[in-house]
Amino acid sequence: MQFRPLGRTHELIPVVGLGTWGIGGEMGPDSSRDEAGIEALRLGLDLEMKFIDTAEMYGAGHTEEVVARVLEGRSDRVFVASKVSPRHFAYDDVLAAAERSLKRLGLKQMDLYQLHWPSSKIPIAETMRAMEKLVKDGLTRHIGVSNFSVEQMREAQQSLSHEKIVSNQVEYSLIDRSVEPRILQYCQKEGLTLIAYSPLGQGKIPRGRGSSFRVLDEIAGKLGKSRNQVALNWVLQHDSVVAIPKAADTDHVKENAEVNDWKLDSEEHQRISNAFS
């Protein structure tokens, strides 16, 4: 597995991690597929994808409990990230939410704690003051944001006294390239990691038809790779990007794990970019 620096820290994280949206439920808890999710996540860790991203919002907290079961008894180092809901952006609420997440995860400290979405109700300075408190108290090692615009990232960083924002988690795939004009460029310039969620277009890339996908399939056939592997590799061409495809099942996890030991050449990358422009 290849690794890349997290922001401008000395922390190295896998280029492909494990997304957990839908494992343990979506907006409410659902334990019907817990065992399948646990099997997939454990396999991912065994394949060196030792970066799990979750959130208090996923499964109304149950997803974090599923992650705790995956981590239980492991002696290897796993980078664990979670996210706080905008409903909990008031100072005391951030602190309480982090404590609840840690309890559900069975951890004393998270590696990365992220603001899940921007809030129009709570001043960002109040929220970031709480995030710095969490770092100071040892409850998280790093601070990140998610779904933030350039202006929101800038304001969030200006609200911090001592810490640096290390990442912005946003949707990024061949299907959705809206972050490229400004957000990706800002992350590269300011030394933030862009964590790409839904790098397979929320399932649209596996199911897609038309001339764009024929280009993708042609290149995949030439390389002996799957369409999904080529699309995921395309996302990872930028050095500041890592991806967290959903660890839906063991087959998907195996497929995703095999994208980092090869690279599209410049011509292949450009052909794909043009096809999906």
Residue 110 and residue 56: Cα distance in Å, rounded? 13
- pLDDT attached to residue 50: 98
The residue annotated as part of the active site, out of 58, 113, 172, 186, is: 58
Number of H helices, E strands in the chain: 11, 10
pLDDT digits 0-9 by tens, 91-150: 999 999 999 999 999 999 999 999 999 999 999 999 999 999 999 999 999 999 999 999
> Among the residues of 14-123, which ranges form H helices?
34-46, 62-71, 91-105
User: Is the pTM higher than 0.95?
Assistant: yes
Give me the average pLDDT of each 10-residue run along the chain (277 residues): 96 98 93 96 98 98 98 95 99 99 98 98 98 99 99 98 98 98 97 98 95 98 97 97 96 94 95 97
Query: What's the distance, CA 135 to chain centroid?
Result: 20
Does 58 participate in catalysis according to the annotation? yes
Residue 46 and residue 219: Cα distance in Å, rounded? 29
Contacts of 119 (CB under 8 A, 6+ apart): 86, 89, 127
Is residue 127 packed enough to be buried (19+ CB in 10 Å), middle (13-18) or exposed (0-12)? buried
| Closest by CA position to 156, among listed 222, 215, 223, 86 | 86
Give the type of residue at 228: N
| Closest by CA position to 167, among listed 132, 197, 192 | 192
Residue 247 and residue 253: Cα distance in Å, rounded? 6
CB 234 within 8 A of CB 10: no
Q: Given the structure tokens 């921007």, which residue do they identify?
A: 118
- pLDDT attached to residue 260: 80
Instruction: For the chain, state the CA radius of gyration.
Output: 18
Question: Which domains are present in the chain?
Answer: 3-202+236-264 (3.20.20.100)
